[in-house]
Amino acid sequence: MVSAAFYFLAFLGIVISPQKVGDELDEATNARMRRYAEEMQERMAQLLLEIEALEKQQSSMHMGALLLSAMQTWQFWASLGFILLLIWLLFWLRKKFEVFDDSSDEESSSSDEDLEEPALNDESNTSISIAESIQRQQVNLTNYCRLVEEMVRGFCRACDWVFKDTFSPVLQTPIGVGSAFEGWSPREGDTVYRCLIPMTAPRGHSFHVEQNTKWNLPSKVSRIRVKLECTCWREQEFGNMLCFLHNPVEELRRNQEPSLLRTMCTRSYLDVRKVSSWFQQLAKLSWKSVPHSSSWLVKVLKTRRSCMLRLIDDTGSTVFVEMMFGVQQGDTDIFLSSDYSEAPVTPDTVWPQSCAVAEMKFFRNIAANAQQDSFHLGCMQLCARIALGSYFTSYMMKTVVMHLLNTIPLERWHRREFLQRMDDIMEYLCSCLRKKCLDHFWLGNEQMPEEFILPPDFQTSRPPNLFQHMAKDPDQYTQAHTDFHELQEQLMQMLNFGN
């Protein structure tokens, strides 16, 4: 029986020569080889049992004689050959399966890498999708900004014509300010287009800025004192105008429009509320003469310190336009604005200092010097969007971005470095949070570009801390700390999933 098995397996070893190991073997072939190896192991075990039985039967013989007798028989050599053949086949099969397993692991690893790459690609695609969405919104912002500027300019020209013979403030060319005119918006589809309308004093009047130097800059309690000026020596230039200082009061009341002091001032100071009320009435009367006004349904909203318009076109799209008023401080980029101050209550005669025009010029200067694929506005918009409803206001986030735009070279604000710049922004904000200090951008900034004209005290003053409330109130610091972590999570969610 043993000899028959030996010859049969020897025949198989000769006829079935080992195939070349490679990736061409399929699962069926490998399964047959595994079964074949198991069968060889069973036969080898059976042969060993037969040898043990033979040794028991001949246990009475001397070991030396038994060994000599066994070596003289051909069955011994056949068994030994069979065992060696089995060992060789098992060794070959084991090596074959190890190579196959290594090949399978490499294929599996390659497959895993293929599965992981789409995840990276998905993150990249999400970032690209966010970038493209922001760029589309910026195009819409640009188009609406042009439309709004044209409409407000036309409105101011109409107002000048209507009130040319009165002593109302003289309206200058409107200046688009705020996030929309800077090229970003914290809210998609809910943008307010803000225009600052500079005012100068009418004939026979002058504006004088008064600031309380006890407060840190930018001043929150600036006032505009209105004074009457003698016009006697300019009678030919001003036509039939009577001098307010050198003519009887009764004659002035009968023959001339009242002065600005009587119409829009409180105790000689220009009153924001009175100016706003006058402007709102003017908008209701003069809007029909504005270019493109026939394409919009216009409603003047009642506000205390500005003139807010709600425009609805034929498709139902709504645009909000806020017109504010301001008086330029000398020839600088700083204005005294009708905007609200940070105080809980802003008196009607207070005109806080505003850096809105300087900030608009800053972003336009960056856009003019940056390369075509710069994505700094996309970073700004994303920062403002994730900060909505948190401790960090849009102005705080804008201050962080302006500081970094002033220090990181513009060529490093490419769209391909979008994620790195967002990381820089969050790291800068985190550093300010640890120090409980975020410096105002326009005051005490030694790296201010020369293109901007600022009052002398802006450059020499100590920059106010936008985190001053946090530094004084532990509860606010705790809230800011919690909100910062939520900003991080929201940013990661938006970059990974696009929502």
pLDDT digits (tens, 9 = 90+) for 187-202: 766 689 999 999 999 9
pLDDT for residue 117: 31
Phi-psi region of 330 (alpha: psi -120 to 50; beta: other; left: phi over 0): left
pLDDT of residue 268 exceeding 70, the answer is: yes
Q: Mean pLDDT throughout 371-396?
A: 91
As a whole number of angstroms, the distance between CA 386 and CA 380 comes to 10
Q: Give the confidence band of 348 by pLDDT, cuts at 50, 70, 90.
A: very high
Q: Give the confidence band of 106 by pLDDT, cuts at 50, 70, 90.
A: very low
- The token pair that represents 30 in the structure block: 């490998």
The helix-helix angle for 356-369 and 376-386 (nearest 10°) equals 140
DSSP state for residue 410 in the 8-state scheme:
G
pLDDT for residue 314: 84
pLDDT for residue 9: 45
As a whole number of angstroms, the distance between CA 93 and CA 86 comes to 10
pLDDT of residue 65 exceeding 60, the answer is: no
Give Cβ neighbours of residue 208 (< 8 Å, ≥ 6 apart).
Answer: 224, 225, 226, 227
User: Is the C-alpha dihedral spanning 110, 114, 115, 121 positive or negative?
Assistant: positive
Q: Mean pLDDT throughout 309-337?
A: 92
Q: Give the confidence band of 33 by pLDDT, cuts at 50, 70, 90.
A: low
Closest CA to 386 of 482, 486, 478: 486
pLDDT of residue 496 exceeding 80, the answer is: no
Q: Kind of pairing, strands 192-200 and 318-328?
A: parallel
The share of the chain scoring above pLDDT 90, in percent, equals: 42
DSSP state for residue 374 in the 8-state scheme:
B
CB atoms within 10 A of CB 130: 18
Q: Give the confidence band of 310 by pLDDT, cuts at 50, 70, 90.
A: very high
Q: How would you class 247 by CB atoms within 10 Å of its CB: exposed for 0-12, middle for 13-18, buried for 19 or more?
A: middle
More confident site: 419 or 237: 419
- pLDDT of 277-291, one tens digit each? 999 998 888 777 777
Mean pLDDT of the chain: 79
Give Cβ neighbours of residue 390 (< 8 Å, ≥ 6 apart).
Answer: 483, 486, 487
Residue identified by tokens 């287009």 is 193
pLDDT of residue 17 exceeding 50, the answer is: no
pLDDT of residue 475 exceeding 80, the answer is: yes
- pLDDT of 239-263, one tens digit each? 778 899 999 989 989 888 899 999 9
Reduce the DSSP state of residue 450 to 3 states and report it. Answer: coil
pLDDT for residue 60: 47
Q: Mean pLDDT throughout 215-234?
A: 83
pLDDT for residue 131: 66
Task: Specify which residues 209 forms β-bridges with.
Answer: 224
pTM, rounded to two decimals: 0.72
More confident site: 210 or 459: 210
CB atoms within 10 A of CB 291: 14
pLDDT for residue 105: 44
The Cα angle at residue 380 between residues 374 and 385, in degrees rounded to 5? 140
CA distances, 104 to each of 90, 100, 107, 148, 233 (Å)? 21, 6, 5, 65, 101
As a whole number of angstroms, the distance between CA 338 and CA 343 comes to 14
pLDDT of residue 11 exceeding 50, the answer is: no
pLDDT for residue 308: 94
Q: Mean pLDDT throughout 161-180?
A: 90
Q: Give the confidence band of 233 by pLDDT, cuts at 50, 70, 90.
A: confident
Q: Name the range with the highest mean pLDDT among 76-85, 277-286, 337-346, 393-402.
A: 393-402
